[in-house]
Amino acid sequence: MTKRLVRAVALMAVLALVLVACGTPGGDETTTTAAPGTTAAPGTTATTAVGETTTTEAMVECTEPIKIGLLQPLTGGLAASGGDAKDGFELYWETFGQEAGGCEIDFEVVDTAGNPDTALQLVDELVDNYGADIIVGELLANVTLALADRLKDKDVIFMSPIGSADDLTQRDRDLYPNFTRAGGWTSSQTSHVLGQWAYDEGYRTVATICTDYAFGHEMCGGFVQTFTEAGGTVVPAQQLWNPLGSTDLGTYVTQLQGFAPDAVFSLQVGASVSDFLSNWSNFGLMDEIPLIGGEVLLDISNVRNVPPEQVLGLISSGHWAEGLDKPATQEFVDAFDAAFGRIPSYYAAATWTAAQYIAETVAAMNGDISDRFATLDVMKGLQLDTPFGPSVLDDYGNPVYDIYIRQVVERGDGRLWNEVIKTYENVDQFWPKTAEEYLQQPVYSRDFQGNAGG
Amino acid sequence: MRLLSLTARVKLGLLVAAIGIGIAAPYLFGSFIVGLLSLALIAGLFAMSIDLLAGYAGLVTLGQAGISATAAYGVGYMANKVGAGIPAQVLVGIAAGLVASAIFAAMAMRTGGVYFIMITLAQGMIVWGLSIRLYKITGAENGLTGIERPSAISEYWQYYYFVLAVVLVCSFLLFIAVRSPFGSSIKGIRESESRMRMLGYNPALQKVYVFMVSGFFASVAGILLVYLNGFISPFAAYISASAIGVLEAILGGIGTLIGPMIGAFIIVYIQNIVSTNLERWPTLLGLIFIVVILFARQGLVGAVSTGWHRWLERRERVGPGDSAGDVADRPGDLSLESSEPR
Amino acid sequence: MAELVTEAIPREAVIRAQQRRRRLIYTAAGIVAFALLVWWILGKMSLRSFWLQSLNGLSFGAVLFFLASGFTLIFGLMRITNLAHGGFYLVGGYMGFSVMKWTGNFALALFAAALGITVVGLFTERILLRPIRGLEKPEVLLTIGLTFVLGDLSLAVWGGDPTPVPVPGFLQGPLRIGDFAYPRYRLFVLVCAIVVAIVLFYIERRTRLGAIVRAGVDDRETVAALGINIKAVFTGVFMFGAFLAGFAGVIGGGFLTLLPGQDFEILLFGLVVVILGGLGSLPGAVLGAVMVGLIDSFAKALVPELSFFTLFAPMALVLVLRPQGLLGKEE
């Protein structure tokens, strides 16, 4: 037994030495995959500035399509929202054709199941195997952070129209140079205006209940900061946080009642939305205390199955409002409704807008996006009319939007949607402060909510 | 004089071939496949740690992911929140995994059979719940990022070789462990606790030992994974991770050690490659689970092994040197229950 | 003289007396600890909040009771640990949702969905579990595989949207007594659970069927020898357990939104209930459900960070001190 074993081990050792002598495998491959979007023609033109037509320069011909990888949770607890995101993205290309700037657009949609590990495996496949130029994804902030980390050294553009972890376009901006949030938002961007609005409406004390993770912390923090800086008070100072995925929110509703505030601000996601809303109604608070929601609380994808009396009339703020009376918005809503039989949520609008950004940018680059950073610069210079309204990217890669105060109403055909009752124009991620002021403070968290009362 | 039986020679040959392919893999495949191979090896180690408990001690655990996630969080916490160096990270990771194993073992040692399954299920889910709640330590849903490998193994293929080496060493250690006196006493506990008690063993204590040994290897797997992804989040402790580990072990063959590794390769293949084409792949996993339990409880390796032995018996009309050595290699069977109710 | 007396006392009686004494001590200790806990809680919240949270906990516990009772019955008689019970809950809830959407009749939704799950249970017991009857571990693992399938198929059929089961108008909104308001639906669930518990106890203790089941738990060969079709009893009990789980899904879905992944989460709660209360014991299911419901509710209110841990601690204590559960039978 021993002699054979020794012989086997020796053989393997020799094999190993031979392989090492032949050179390391990683060294043979270039660490950056060649960008497939480039054309074969050697005389490729440099990027053209936006708006310039290139009549004199040769029209660039793509030999390979531009490849996009879209990662979303299509199974699991977020499947509804992820499905909306996928549908919105696909609908854009179906409507306008899968080509831009003379290049064919090819994309692949993969299912992360809401699992960050799966997402990391899949993004490797998309970048190394499929050869994606652009990665679009994902939904959850934690998965988005993991992806941003993984992709920061790779030759791709990473867009996140949904995952809204604030710091990716704020304090950690420089860590992720190939990241842009075109079509996206920061969590606190929409709640800043809501805090101001609440104070202007006359509310002086507000109790908050938000989901206990980064998204909830950031959205609540945005509200708390502007509300308290305007002069309001948050009661109790020890805010309420419910765990992500909570199944029974009756306990929290009971506590909120005990605080007797002028109004309650809440941000919930997924199943907790209908849980919260039904408890809010059933404990009789719908008639007692005004409820103000963070954008996702009253997003269509979360309230589709909720009895109307539990949501009608509720106010929230958002960059998306299905009832926004602008052509870009209504065309999108009608197209989506015709294709899928339901009113689109912000998830669908976000990926549609991301697709729009991609198409416009590729066109502006004449199909050559091999220089990723030049491409990102061009993307920043675009001014688009998206379903969200007008959109421009700030210096940090985050959009500047009109933010709307919305109210849930019943539209003509009996279905519910959010209509705009007030617009705050040109709100960037730092509103109402300047970037320098805002970045002095830490990112919103459990411990820092920007409470001016201390 | 033949020192090894035919079976042993075939096994050794297959093993050498597999290792050879393993070493050559980065030259044959691109980064995506090699990354998957790393993942499959880690999953295999994880499944083998489950097999140690299930196949040899007769204790099926549905909470192994809780232990490997705890170890991973140990590493993640030291890397992300404390900023410690790699040796400290690994040390804390292993320690965390062992502490979790000890606590779980202490809770479960007075039970067996289905009680054990249920309790380990609850334990694993509790790790999941705690990792969501204790945001100061675990970063809650966001998880912990920024877990970096030392530069010597930072490239995907370098890390692959590292994983391959570690997994081979661990497999070898497991192999020795089950053939050692310790392994025999564990098997004895499975067969009959009362008999072992008469021989002077303390079955509860033995269970704790084997749980901790198994937990050690699960911790190693968890740590290898966290360095592969650079990331840990609560999902790693969810029941599906534990259940899939058990599926890998059963699919490959409980009680064989090599079976779980093979099962892991198959399941990783389904999860990552089949899933891009088949939207209902979780149903496929569930169906495989059901079919294997109903029709092939010995798993793939068990079925192949049984077929092989039958072929041998037909081929050779005795030859004491061969058959004797072969019979001793019969794999374990999931349905082997101890005669005691617990 | 003394040695003669000591030898004359049978050993068994001594042991039983010791056990009884130990049980008395533990129960007394438990009651004292409980009283202290209540006193501490009252120091932290108003009396009104206390009642509200208690009701919250009890109504959640009611759903858990429906789930746990079926689970514990199946285990008690057949020694099958049906981990697909969570899957039964979820699919049952979704079915109830669909029936409500089609007919608007809540009673119909409750029973139709429960019957639907009963059929699933029949299929599971006869086709999937029969071939491996008696092999405890394969049975458990098979039910896990079944949960994967049920969960994914329900995703395919009903989608991933959060799905609350619509409840009839007269059960919506709060019941007001003075300035005390509490959701009618949760009270309804609580009342249902009490009724069902009483019915189950009655069947178990006072009817022939219950006697057969109890006898089957203790000694199935003898029951078979008495000419009773024990196999039919098994199937029947399994189907009834599934019925309860499906029922739990619909009634729970009225205030706990249905969602993919809830199968395993509700199963976890159910497991803690039966581990605390004791597998195979109906009173144990009641006690466990009440305990888990109340702990969950008060922990969320008082120590939300530790709310998972507060479930863990009693379970750990029970496992170490009394592994068969508080009201389970000594093995």
* H helix or E strand, kind and range, residue C276: helix C262-277
Domain boundaries, chain B: 6-327
pLDDT value at B323 more than 70:
no
Set of chain B residues whose Cβ sits within 8 Å of the Cβ of C312? 126, 130
Scanning B219-248 for CB atoms below 8 A from C yields: 238-240, 243, 246-247
Is-same-fold flag (A2-33+41-186+328-382; A189-324+403-438)? Answer: yes
| Beta-carbon count within 10 A of B322 CB | 19
Considering Cα of C199, then C205, then C206, then C211, what sign does the dihedral take?
Answer: positive
Terminal Cα-to-Cα distance of chain C (whole angstroms) = 36
Average pLDDT over residues B80-108: 90
Backbone angles phi, psi at C289, to 5 degrees: -65, -45
Q: Angle CA(C296)–CA(C300)–CA(C301) in degrees, nearest 5?
A: 120
**DSSP-assigned letter for residue C173:** S
C310 to chain A, any CB pair closer than 8 A? The answer is no
CB A3 within 8 A of CB B2: no
Best mutation target among C72, C137, C268, C322 (most B Cβ atoms within 10 Å) is C137
Own/partner long-range contacts of C154-158 (Cβ < 8 Å, ≥24 apart): C154/C90, C154/C91, C154/C94, C154/C260, C155/A75, C155/A76, C155/A79, C155/C260, C156/B279, C156/B280, C156/B283, C157/C94, C158/C94, C158/C97, C158/C98
CA–CA gap between residue A267 and residue A454 (Å, rounded): 22
CA distance C212 to chain B (A): 23
Chain C CA closest to residue A248: C256
Question: How would CATH label the architecture of C47-321?
Answer: Orthogonal Bundle (1.10)
Q: What is the pLDDT of residue B316?
A: 73
CB A349 within 8 A of CB A87: no
Own/partner long-range contacts of A414-419 (Cβ < 8 Å, ≥24 apart): A415/A343, A416/A300, A416/A303, A416/A308, A416/A311, A416/A312, A417/A300, A417/A322, A417/A323, A417/A343, A418/A298, A418/A300, A418/A316, A418/A318, A418/A320, A418/A321, A418/A322, A418/A323, A419/A321, A419/A323
Domain boundaries, chain C: 47-321
Q: What is the pLDDT of residue C134?
A: 78
- DSSP-based three-state secondary structure for A318: strand
- DSSP-based three-state secondary structure for C226: coil
CA–CA gap between residue A196 and residue A228 (Å, rounded): 9
CA–CA gap between residue C53 and residue C293 (Å, rounded): 10
Question: β-strands A103-111, A99-100: how paired?
Answer: antiparallel
| Beta-carbon count within 10 A of B285 CB | 24
C297 to chain A, any CB pair closer than 8 A? The answer is yes
CB contact under 8 A, B233 and A116: yes
Question: How would CATH label the architecture of A189-324+403-438?
Answer: 3-Layer(aba) Sandwich (3.40)
CB B262 within 8 A of CB B301: yes
Give A205: exposed, middle or buried? Use CB within 10 Å, 0-12, 13-18, 19+. Answer: middle
Domain boundaries, chain A: 2-33+41-186+328-382, 189-324+403-438
The closest of C101, C246, C109, C110 to A307, measured between CA atoms, is C101
Residue with tokens 């249920």: B118
Q: What is the pLDDT of residue A52?
A: 34
CA–CA gap between residue C45 and residue C56 (Å, rounded): 15
Chain B CA closest to residue C318: B107
pTM: 0.82
Percent of chain B at pLDDT > 70 equals 91
* pLDDT (tens digit per residue) in B162-195: 999 999 999 999 999 888 888 888 888 778 777 8
- Which amino acid would we find at residue C12? E
For A256, the token pair is: 């909120």
CB C325 within 8 A of CB C318: yes
Set of chain A residues whose Cβ sits within 8 Å of the Cβ of B135? 212-213, 446
- What dotted CATH number matches A2-33+41-186+328-382? 3.40.50.2300
Considering Cα of B46, then B47, then B51, then B53, what sign does the dihedral take?
Answer: positive
The closest of A313, A271, A279 to A293, measured between CA atoms, is A313
For A382, the token pair is: 């675009």
3-state SS of B179-237 is: HCHHHHHHHHHHHCHHHHHHCCCCHHHHHHHHHHHHHHHHHHHHHHHHHHHCCECHHHH
Give A256: exposed, middle or buried? Use CB within 10 Å, 0-12, 13-18, 19+. Answer: buried
How do the pLDDT tens digits run along chain A, 454 residues long?
444 454 545 555 555 554 444 444 433 333 333 222 223 333 333 333 333 333 333 445 677 888 999 999 887 667 778 889 999 999 999 999 888 888 888 999 988 877 777 888 888 888 888 889 999 988 888 788 888 888 888 889 999 999 887 778 888 888 888 888 888 888 889 999 999 999 999 999 999 999 887 788 899 999 999 999 999 999 887 888 887 767 678 888 888 888 889 999 999 987 788 889 888 988 888 888 999 999 988 888 877 778 888 899 899 999 999 888 899 899 999 999 999 988 999 999 999 999 999 999 998 888 888 888 888 888 888 888 899 988 888 888 888 999 999 999 988 888 888 899 999 998 888 888 888 888 888 888 888 888 887 5
pLDDT value at B317 more than 80:
no
State the Rg of chain C over Cα.
Answer: 22
Q: Which residues of B touch A (CB under 8 A)?
A: 3-4, 12, 16, 19-20, 23-24, 26-27, 30-32, 35-36, 39, 132-133, 135, 140-143, 145-146, 155-158, 225, 229-231, 233, 235-236, 271-272, 275-276, 279, 282
User: pLDDT category, B49, cuts 50, 70, 90?
Assistant: very high
| Beta-carbon count within 10 A of C177 CB | 8
CB C278 within 8 A of CB C326: yes
Which class does domain B6-327 fall in?
Answer: mainly alpha
CA–CA gap between residue B281 and residue B287 (Å, rounded): 10
Rounded mean pLDDT for each run of 10 residues along chain C, 331 residues in total: 59 85 86 88 83 92 95 87 93 94 90 94 89 83 91 86 82 82 91 94 85 77 80 89 95 86 88 88 92 90 77 79 77 51
Chain C CA closest to residue A310: C173
CA–CA gap between residue A432 and residue C219 (Å, rounded): 75
- Which amino acid would we find at residue B54? A
For A253, the token pair is: 């509703």
Residue with tokens 């609380």: A297
CA–CA gap between residue C83 and residue C96 (Å, rounded): 21
- Could you tell me the CA-to-CA distances from C72 to A10, B203, C204, C235 in Å, in that order? 59, 28, 13, 15
Q: At what angle do helices C230-253 and C106-123 cross, to 10 degrees?
A: 140
CA–CA gap between residue B240 and residue B229 (Å, rounded): 19
Set of chain B residues whose Cβ sits within 8 Å of the Cβ of A120? 229, 231
Terminal Cα-to-Cα distance of chain B (whole angstroms) = 47
CB B252 within 8 A of CB B264: yes
CB A87 within 8 A of CB C159: no
